[in-house]
Structure 1
Amino acid sequence: MQKFTTRPEIRGTFGVVTSTHWIASAVGMSILERGGNAFDAAVATGFVLQVVEPHLNGPGGDLPVLFHSVRDNAPGVLCAQGSAPSSATIEEMRARGINDLIPASGLLATVVPGAFDGWLLLLRDYGTMEVADVIEPAINYCLNGHPMLPSVASTIADLQTFFEHQWPSSAQVWCPEGACPQEGALFCNPDLGRTYQRLVDAAKGDTREIRIDAVRATWREGFVAEKIGEYLATANVMDASGQKNSALLTRSDIEGWSAQFEKPTSITYHGWELFKTGPWGQGPVLLQALQILKNFDLAAMDPFGTEFTHIVIEAIKLAWADREAYYGDPKYYDIPLETLLSEEYGRDRATLISDKASLETRPGRIAGHEHLADAAVFRVNRRTEVAGNAATGEPTMAHLTDVKGDTVHLDIIDRWGNLVSATPSGGWLQSSPVIPGLGFPLNSRAQMFWLEEGLASSLTPGARPRTTLTPTIAYQNGRPSLAFGTPGGDQQDQWQLIWFLRLVHYGLDLQEGIDAPLFHSMHFQGSFYPRNANPGKMMIEETIGEEVIAALRERGHEIVIAAPNTVGRLTAARRHPDGQMQAAATPRLMQAYAIGR
């Protein structure tokens, strides 16, 4: 039977690369062609994404990676989510007049920048190439230019006046000589190119590993940390709170931090084993949702019908309620993850789903943690429909902000069978002022902490903010098989869940599933400023059909209809038992691409 998709099914045996920008995908494939492995290609792809999608990620941002290593014959997690500064306390925030929400922009919300060190740690321990090999493409695009995306040009145009009056270092980089970049025109960032080159030049030593560590030290202890520290010591800038604030981050915070490897969390589902980050990310919510959905005969439902959509949305509400109650950095908080991911807990949660849309926030009540469930309900009730402007927060495809975009993602499989799935984010051009001379801004990830004591996600010095970044890898029948993910803030695991269910239960191929109509819930507590909740509300692409939309409304869902091909930015790569590989990329926003041979 002929398949009708927006893109061809990319298949091959040598390797596949898919990412949210065609240039980055091409660079990743070029690394595979030169003999690099999936880890080398991922690092090169990631650095190019920092250059060509600067409104969505940057070297001052954060990075989680899920991977399968053939050498280790095991899955792993790279956590390059920077931690809160040593002076970042609730008391300090209140002393500055910040009593409710940490502002979503400026310097006060900045945590340790983690992406750069994370990419180099991945290169050192799992790659094969030198730093120069993987960063040279990014340097080239910084110095010689890349075609400016329409979304980047419009974002900068919207912020030009603000930059000129409040963040002049950003105006100098993004509006050189006072002019906004034009859509499709070549855009250069020579300051960032020179920063990358100075880092590459620091690669000295007798072995590849020593040379990479020398570059990491130059970032953490050399000129990069020095320039960041000098700027933050005196900078006092306007942010989303409506007042000027200085940073809590210091040079010593950067010097004392490094990325790390961890074991993933996982569950099995209909012959698949899925691997996600720990509860410092939102990844376990997808696993929780699957444990709930095991209790329904999804295969008997229409994958584009009312019943499927309703059941999945209701499972999402329950899992995400638990996220808000219980997730945080397990190094600092007691997270009942074993209970949350158990089949028994999933069965209990499934009994709460009826034929009608729930309008309640219903985290599970876990023995010894009941106060966290109560606090989550209280917060949602307090934040429900709070008026505010989210335009300076997470640039997701939430359709409710003035900022268009989201974050970035990549999936890569090489001919040896290594799998890499990464979702870099943070350090957006609209998040924070550019550090003078370096060509990039810092992040605003601390906005995900709460300024209340005793919560799993309370602001705590040294703790990781509970990020939304959530790549995925999966084994089928014990064999490493699948890497997938998407940008999109709170929607990331929702869109991945829907795509995965259609793959497993209905046999939709990679591109078919990506092209299919998507939906997501807006019911739960948002992760980004102003952290609104919208009980009962969901968004769905109109291509699902008027009949389904009407039936969902009858069940009590408040529907926001999205235009066709405007929800989700999934990419995916798969390795089959015969050695064939596939890759697919979303047509939404018309910039993601899959490549392979």
Structure 2
Amino acid sequence: MRSRPELHGTNGAVSSTHWLASAAGAAAFDRGGNAFDAAATAAFVIQVVEPHLNGPAGDTPIMVYDAAAEEVKVVCGQGPMPSAATVGAFRERGLAEVPASGLLPACVPGAFGAWLRVVGRYGRLPIADVLAPAIRYAEDGYPLLPNASRMISALAPLFRDEWTESGATYLNGGRAPKPGARVRNPILARTFQRILDEAKARTSNREAQAEAAIDIFYEGFVAEAIDDFMATAKPLDSTGSRNAGLLTGADMAAWRPVVEDPVVVGYRGLLVHKPGPWSQGPVFLQQLALLEGFDLKEFGFGSADHLHTVVECAKLAFADREAWYGDPNHADVPIAALLDPEYSAARRALISGAPSSILRPGSPGGRVPWVPSFAPSSTATDGPDWLAELGEGIPAIMRLTASTGDTTCISATDREGNMVVATPSGGWLKSSPVVPGLGFPLGTRGQMALLAEGHNNVLAPGKRPRTTLSPTLVCTDDGRPYLAFGTPGGDQQDQWTLNFFLNHVDFGMSPQQAIEAATFHSEHVPTSFSPRQSFPLGVSVEDGIPETAIAELRRRGHQVRVTPAMSLGKVCATGARSDGGVFAAASPRGEQAYGVAR
């Protein structure tokens, strides 16, 4: 039984993790925009209204289907590590890992440039129209989400006493705004408006204005403000010490968002596209390659065999992520070998009726796998409560309140078949201090890189840390656009979205039914964020999975934790109907994701 209706339209569809963003994106269709304009408009609004989960200096992979070119591409909004970011630079500071917060883990901001690249290359609207809703909400205000209020409250002492620019941005009279309070960020509004004004002063051409805005961000006053701040600031971070950062204006000037080919596999007559191994995206494809050999429909949705099989396939795929994934521009990542049918068949043979408690990466092409052991966290253990919050690589307040958001998601589809999906994250309010004069903090994605020499995900100058961000775009076997979806959730993104996809494809549910069905995930593999915890036999299932299945999983040896119903994930999806229409679906989990169909 659905709690939300199926949404169908004939012009365009948007689904995102915030209702204001979905509404703003849908309004872009009314102004003559396409799916790319709608998604970018929603994304800039989300940077304003979900500051606890993302920001302009965060990161995002953006997947696009360009109907005119009939092709799928990935716009990489993951910035690299600074030129001074070496393993030695962190070891010299006595660190066993990259800190979870502060200035040391800051990468080149990727999100802002990536969305402007999408608008310039694929959109139709001028950037003034795309940025206008975000500027309006930053200037006039928006209702603060409860989890944002909780996080600001947890960090209020830090913001008052240490990160004073963050205090000026997020506190009201030295206190956290209450849930639902109307909050503003006029400095961010002025930053966006100045970028827009300077871009318009350079040129009246739409595409050129988008490129000018990118240049202004990465070489103009924004980069100058970041460079000045990084040259002098030494704020407290998750180590409990004061550390200067490594990012410079030169690092920003040297980077621009690139457009890449996706990684793709076939499954049940569909072509599934993911970002490359600088994300965790291929792990979704590896799971599909393993599951291709099982008849899930025969098992029955929610059965012990269904859950056990999916969980054990996830363990094998994620073990390969730990051993092999990294920036392919800097590491030899054997993607073709990892997705080879013979390799998948050999890995599939490892699955038995009992759960595995051992991390088992494979040997693609005969290579020898290596998963480094993780040193104890460099987070200070003694100190105020806010220090523990900083030490969590993702917003810990989300986990403590049984919510599942640490990222955002936007998907859009239009009547012409254009399709886009992204999972913007990072640059959230607890990541690092707000940069004076800009209204936003830097992202800390560098925390996901390892200080293990020789590993594919070892930290290095100019290298992208391997991220968890992982949207999915699906086409029919003849290349027509079909479905674009994603979810917040850190390491669990490619388990919750996999379950949604299997619910739709293998179990025949509609997209909205597939989103609302009870879900689950394995906790077998170390998380990508500090403190990199793992529970080798752990499986989390939502209340709603049959008790008989849970009992059978426990009998087999799984350590099952039952979470409240509707507590895992916030899948957002849009897609194209065979009759030329469009549809949207959004998770009721968290009570803030909404779809709109025109």
Q: 1:402 Cα deviation (Å)?
A: 9.2
SS in 1 for 2:132: helix
Residue equivalent to 1:509: 510
User: Shift in Å at residue 548 of structure 1?
Assistant: 1.5
Instruction: For residue 212 of structure 1, give the secondary structure of its aligned residue in structure 2.
Output: helix
Residue 545 of structure 2 is matched in structure 1 by 544
- TM-score, normalised to structure 1, is 0.96
- Pairs within 5 Å for 1:145-160: 145-160=141-156
Contact persistence 1:142–1:189 (CA under 8 A) = yes
Partner amino acid for 1:545?
P
Aligned pairs (5 A) from 1:166-565: 166-203=162-199, 204-367=202-365, 369-370=367-368, 373=369, 375-376=370-371, 378-379=372-373, 392-395=392-395, 399=399, 405-478=405-478, 479-565=480-566
Instruction: Give the residue type in structure 1 aligned to 2:134.
Output: A
In the other structure, the counterpart of 1:13 is: 10
Contact 1:101/1:530, CA 8 A, preserved across alignment: no
State the identity as a percent: 46
Tell me how far 1:589 sits from its aligned partner: 0.7
Task: For residue 270 of structure 1, report the CA deviation from its aligned partner.
Answer: 0.6
Deviating more after overlay: 27-36 vs 473-482: 473-482
Within 5 A, what are the aligned runs for 1:67-82? 67-82=64-79
Q: Distance in 2 between matches of 1:448 and 1:395?
A: 15
Q: Secondary structure at the match of 1:230?
A: helix
CA contact (8 A) 1:328 1:335 kept: yes
1:411-439 CA distance string (max 9 Å, x none): 10011110001111110001110001110
Give the Cα separation in 1 of the matches to 2:149 and 2:449: 31
Structure 1 residue 343: Cα displacement: 1.4
Provide the rounded CA distance (Å) in 2 between the counterparts of 1:311 and 1:402: 26
Distance 1:252 1:309 in 2: 49
Change in CA separation of 1:401 and 1:331 when aligned onto 2, cut-off 3 Å: farther
Question: What code does the residue aligned with 1:43 have?
Answer: A
Check conservation: 1:397, 1:404, Cα contact below 8 A.
no
- CA–CA separation in structure 2 for the residues paired with 1:217 and 1:574: 33
Instruction: Quote how far apart the aligned CAs of 1:335 are.
Output: 0.6
Partner of 2:385: none
- Which residue number in structure 1 is paired with residue 588 of structure 2? 587
| Whole-angstrom CA distance in 2 between matches of 1:383 and 1:224 | 36
- Corresponding position: 1:95 with 2:96: no
1:129 Cα deviation (Å)? 1.3
Distance in 2, Cα, partners of 1:65 & 1:447 = 21
Aligned to 2:32: 35
**CA-CA distance at 1:398 after TM superposition:** 7.4
Say which SS state the counterpart of residue 447 (structure 1) adopts: helix
Call closer, same or farther: CA 1:367–1:404 in 2, change over 3 Å.
closer
Which deviates further from its counterpart, 110-119 or 546-555? 546-555
1:104 alignment partner in structure 2: 100
Query: In the alignment, is the contact (CA less than 8 A) between 1:151 and 1:405 conserved in 2?
Result: no
Q: Is the contact made by 1:277 and 1:470 (CA closer than 8 Å) also made in structure 2?
A: yes
**Unpaired segments of 5 or more residues in structure 1?**
none
CA distance in 2, matches of 1:488, 1:66: 18
- Separation of aligned partners in 1, 2:457 and 2:556: 33
Q: Any unmatched runs of 5+ in structure 2?
A: 382-387
Structure 1 counterpart SS, 2:8: strand
Equivalent-residue separation in structure 2 for 1:538 and 1:398 (angstroms): 19
* Number of matched pairs: 587
- Once superposed, what is the RMSD of the aligned Cα atoms? 1.7
1:397 shift after superposition: 9.0
1:281, 1:66 → 2: CA distance?
A: 12
Distance 1:276 1:379 in 2: 28
CA shift, 1:206, in A, is 4.2
What is the identity, as a one-letter code, of the residue corresponding to 1:198? Answer: R
> Matched residue of 2:495: which SS?
helix
Q: Match of 1:573? A: 574
**In the TM superposition, what is the alpha-carbon distance from 1:166 to its structure 2 partner?**
2.1
Which amino acid in the other structure matches residue 298 of structure 1?
L
How far did residue 404 of structure 1 move? 6.5
Q: CA deviation at 1:190?
A: 0.5
Shift of 1:546: 2.1
SS in 1 for 2:160: helix
Cα distance in 2 between the residues matched to 1:212 and 1:367: 43
1:442 partner letter: L
Q: Is the 8 A contact 1:397 1:405 kept in 2?
A: no
The answer to which of 236-245 and 114-123 deviates more is 236-245
Matched, 1:24 2:21: yes
The Cα of 1:302 is off from its aligned counterpart by: 1.3
Change (3 A) 1:398 1:286: farther
Taking the aligned partners of 2:472 and 2:380, their CA distance within structure 1 comes to: 34
SS in 2 for 1:141: helix
The 1:403–1:486 alpha-carbon spacing in structure 2 relative to 1, beyond 3 Å, is: closer
Contact 2:403–2:590 (CA<8 Å) still a contact in 1? no
User: What is the rounded CA distance, in whole Å, between the counterparts of 2:256 and 2:77 in structure 1?
Assistant: 8
| 3-state SS in 2 of match to 1:307 | helix
Counterpart Cα distance in 2 of 1:464 and 1:207: 32
1:461 is paired with a residue whose SS is coil
Which amino acid counterpart does residue 104 of structure 1 have in structure 2? A
**Offset of residue 12 of structure 1:** 1.2
Q: TM-score, normalised by structure 2?
A: 0.96
Q: CA deviation at 1:580?
A: 2.1
